[in-house]
Amino acid sequence: MSPVACNGNNTLPLGGSTGRERYDSRMPPYKEQGIVLRSYKLGEADKIVTVMTQGSGKVRAVAKGIRKTKSRFGARLEPFTHVDLMLYRGRGSLDTVTQAEIIAPHMSIREDLARFAAGETMLEAIDRVAEEHERNVRLTLLLLAGCRALDAAPADPAAVAESFMLKLLSLSGFHPSITACAVCGDRDPQLWDAGLGGAVCGRCAEQGAGPCSRAALEFLSTLALADLDDAGATLQPDARVRKETRSLLYGFAEYHLERRMKSVPMLVRTAT
């Protein structure tokens, strides 16, 4: 990936030397590219950011003086922003950002409620599964592809998030069985059991398995195969099937990722 919009204006030299830096200046700085997941104000001019990076996994860092800095993109380091960072490794879990170059702000995601809800679901899921300082290039590239797809104003942002979630589950080792029974491989599964691995046939189902329609499984299968850019473009089932699909998918994700994703209810509310 090459930066698409870098010039001198985008580089934000942060803070000045106070002689009381929290980072260990004996450690060499490291450079990382990634997507901002979370950003919190700290005091007058600082921010704490959580960034999903290619080489260092999830990184939490303090960015000093960033809100005072003027830049083409407002020095915002807000969620969804694709950034190139120079950091120092901290003594604890908090690193220090010494320089930030904004590659793409992905601003349009914040300008539309459906896109924002879909994006929040993606950030939340990544935040749950990514480990701090554990390299995960594929997860970072998936998130970047998701942000780009939403920034391009897709017709169906919820479908982009659902397709993203299926890809994230696959990368995490939990791809649901959709077209065949998760237990015996029967090609006509009619029930759904997250614990057994997705779609199951009547013979393999255990107590707790719920019904699922053929249309919902077909849509899930389409979403799993789709590129994020055109998720939801080839098949547009009715609202009832969409609702069922979301319920199967997010129920499965919650079961396997073992933590409730707070932004899911918001996505369900805004999606038609």
Residue ranges in 154-183 that form contacts with Zn ion under rule CB under 5 A: 181, 183
Q: Binding of Zn ion at residue 186 (CB under 5 A)?
A: yes
Interface region with Zn ion, contact rule CB under 5 A, candidates 88-96, 156-164, 195-203, 251-259: 195-203
Strands 57-63 and 94-104 turn out to be parallel
What's at 160, amino acid-wise?
A: V
Among 143, 204, 231, 264, binds Zn ion (CB under 5 A): 204
Residue ranges in 110-139 that form contacts with Zn ion under rule CB under 5 A: none
Among 27, 153, 184, 225, binds Zn ion (CB under 5 A): 184
Interface region with Zn ion, contact rule CB under 5 A, candidates 13-21, 63-71, 138-146, 203-211: 203-211
The smaller minimum CB distance to Zn ion, of residues 202 and 265, is found at 202
CB of residue 182 to Zn ion, shortest distance in Å: 7
The smaller minimum CB distance to Zn ion, of residues 205 and 223, is found at 205
CB of residue 251 to Zn ion, shortest distance in Å: 20
The smaller minimum CB distance to Zn ion, of residues 206 and 227, is found at 206
CB of residue 202 to Zn ion, shortest distance in Å: 8
The smaller minimum CB distance to Zn ion, of residues 66 and 204, is found at 204
Residue ranges in 217-236 that form contacts with Zn ion under rule CB under 5 A: none
CB of residue 264 to Zn ion, shortest distance in Å: 29
Among 201, 223, 261, 267, binds Zn ion (CB under 5 A): 201
Q: Binding of Zn ion at residue 196 (CB under 5 A)?
A: no
* Structural Rg of the chain based on CA atoms: 21
The smaller minimum CB distance to Zn ion, of residues 184 and 225, is found at 184
DSSP codes joined into one string, the chain: ---SS-SGGGEEE-----S--SB-TTSPPEEEEEEEEEEEEETTTEEEEEEEETTTEEEEEEETTGGG---TTTT---TT-EEEEEEE-BSSSEEEEEEEEEEE--GGGGGSHHHHHHHHHHHHHHHHHPPBT---HHHHHHHHHHHHHHHT--S-HHHHHHHHHHHHHHHTT-PPB-SS-TTT--S---EEEGGGTEEE-TTT--TT-EE--HHHHHHHHHHHHS-GGGTTTS----HHHHHHHHHHHHHHHHHHH-S--TTHHHHHHH--
* Contacts with Zn ion, residue ranges (CB under 5 A): 181, 183-184, 186, 201, 204
